[in-house]
């Protein structure tokens, strides 16, 4: 995990919501210079930080409302840090939690060089990545319907007479779930066509190379492309393996590995 350690005169922590957001601005001595709830609005935010624009850094927790803040800071030339939500909670947890406290916690971590950073995904590729993730969500729902049909057959110990229900000719007369599956099939087909067209605007060479891997087709290649974005952002193979959740968390205490407790 990387931490933001650059020094500034002012540190701004934001806890944004759809209509309101809490901001906290600390100076280099840790004194609160601004701490208030305000309307979630670009112009209002720029006005609030205007007295501190000479040297300020802005940080937001990585939740669903960070896109506009990152884009605005990039446009205005303001240093921006995206904080890892789970690491922030682990580092600076507490009994009391509200928007006012959270905004100050972010500013304090930022000033102290303890803000855990995550990658700020490029704006030009976010829309397509979000479509890919939405497609994955719909595919999971479709798979649940398939599983429900098969499980119903197993509950009554019936012979497996359905056949491969992924094929249209084997679906006739099988549960109401099939109607939902047909709906998902149409939606996913159109969505995948749109995604493939959009993907041609982003690194077509990398996209083509991914499809040369055995077992990787257009859709899996797109998932890899849009989740990685740029392989150079990983400093080492180990960093990439960790990002891909292929590295187990090491736990050690008093020079010994902390083994999980046995289940009794």
Instruction: Read off the pLDDT of residues 47-75 as tens digits, 9 standing for 90 and up.
Output: 999 999 999 999 999 988 899 999 999 99
pLDDT score, position 85? 85
Residue 81's CB is within 10 A of a number of other CB atoms, namely 24
If one compares 95 and 9, the residue with the highest pLDDT of the two is 9
Paired sense of beta strands 56-61 and 80-83, if any: parallel
Question: pLDDT band for position 80 (50/70/90)?
Answer: very high
C-alpha distance from residue 114 to each of 7, 64, 81, 234, 257 (Å): 12, 22, 12, 20, 26
Is residue 85 within 8 Å of 34, Cβ to Cβ? no
pLDDT higher than threshold 50 for residue 264:
no
Question: pLDDT band for position 163 (50/70/90)?
Answer: low
Question: What size, in residues, is the chain?
Answer: 264
The answer to which of 26-30, 109-113, 185-189, 242-246 has the lowest mean pLDDT is 242-246
**Model confidence over 98-119: pLDDT tens digits?**
889 999 999 999 999 999 999 9
Percent of the chain's residues with pLDDT above 70: 87
**Model confidence over 33-52: pLDDT tens digits?**
999 999 999 999 999 999 99
Comparing C-alpha atoms, which of 80, 87, 85, 84 is closest to residue 118? 84
Percent of the chain's residues with pLDDT above 90: 44
What order do you get walking across the sheet with 2-4 strand by strand? 2-4, 115-117, 80-83, 56-61, 10-16, 20-27, 32-39
Coil, helix or strand for 152?
A: helix
Helices 177-199 and 218-228 pack at an angle, to 10 degrees, of: 60
Question: pLDDT band for position 263 (50/70/90)?
Answer: very low
pLDDT score, position 176? 75
Comparing C-alpha atoms, which of 59, 126, 65 is closest to residue 88? 59
If one compares 157 and 180, the residue with the highest pLDDT of the two is 180
| Dist. CA 115–CA 107, nearest whole Å | 9
| Dist. CA 63–CA 99, nearest whole Å | 13
Coil, helix or strand for 253?
A: strand
C-alpha distance from residue 161 to each of 81, 169, 179, 217 (Å): 56, 13, 19, 31
Question: pLDDT band for position 220 (50/70/90)?
Answer: confident
Residues in Cβ contact with 199 at an 8 Å cutoff, skipping those fewer than 6 apart: 128, 207, 222, 225, 226
pLDDT score, position 69? 95
| Dist. CA 23–CA 102, nearest whole Å | 9
Mean of the pLDDT values across residues 211-220? 90
Question: pLDDT band for position 166 (50/70/90)?
Answer: low
CATH class of 2-117: alpha beta
pLDDT score, position 27? 95
pLDDT score, position 32? 95
């Amino acid at each position: 995990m990387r931490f933001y350690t650059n020094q500034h005169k002012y540190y701004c922590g934001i806890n944004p919501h759809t209509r309101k957001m809490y901001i906290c601005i600390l100076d280099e001595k840790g004194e609160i210079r601004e701490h208030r709830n305000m309307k979630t609005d670009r112009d209002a935010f720029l006005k609030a930080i205007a007295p501190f624009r000479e040297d300020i850094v802005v940080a937001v927790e990585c939740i669903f409302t960070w896109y506009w803040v990152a884009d605005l800071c990039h446009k205005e030339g303001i240093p921006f840090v995206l904080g890892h939500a789970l690491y922030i909670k682990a580092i600076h947890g507490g009994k009391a939690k509200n928007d006012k406290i959270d905004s100050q916690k972010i500013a304090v971590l930022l000033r102290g060089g303890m803000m855990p950073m995550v990658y700020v995904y490029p704006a030009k590729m976010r829309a397509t990545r979000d479509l890919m993730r939405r497609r994955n969500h719909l595919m999971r729902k479709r798979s649940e319907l398939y599983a429900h049909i098969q499980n119903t057959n197993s509950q009554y110990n019936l012979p497996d007479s359905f056949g491969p229900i992924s094929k249209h000719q084997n679906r006739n007369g099988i549960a109401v779930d099939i109607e939902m599956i047909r709906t998902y099939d149409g939606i996913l087909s159109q969505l995948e066509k749109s995604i493939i067209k959009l993907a041609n605007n982003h690194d077509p060479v990398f996209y083509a190379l991914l499809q040369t891997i055995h077992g990787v087709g257009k859709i899996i290649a797109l998932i890899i492309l849009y989740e990685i974005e740029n392989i150079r952002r990983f400093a080492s193979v180990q960093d990439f393996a960790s990002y891909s959740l292929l590295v187990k968390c090491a736990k050690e205490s008093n020079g010994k590995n902390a083994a999980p407790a046995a289940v009794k």
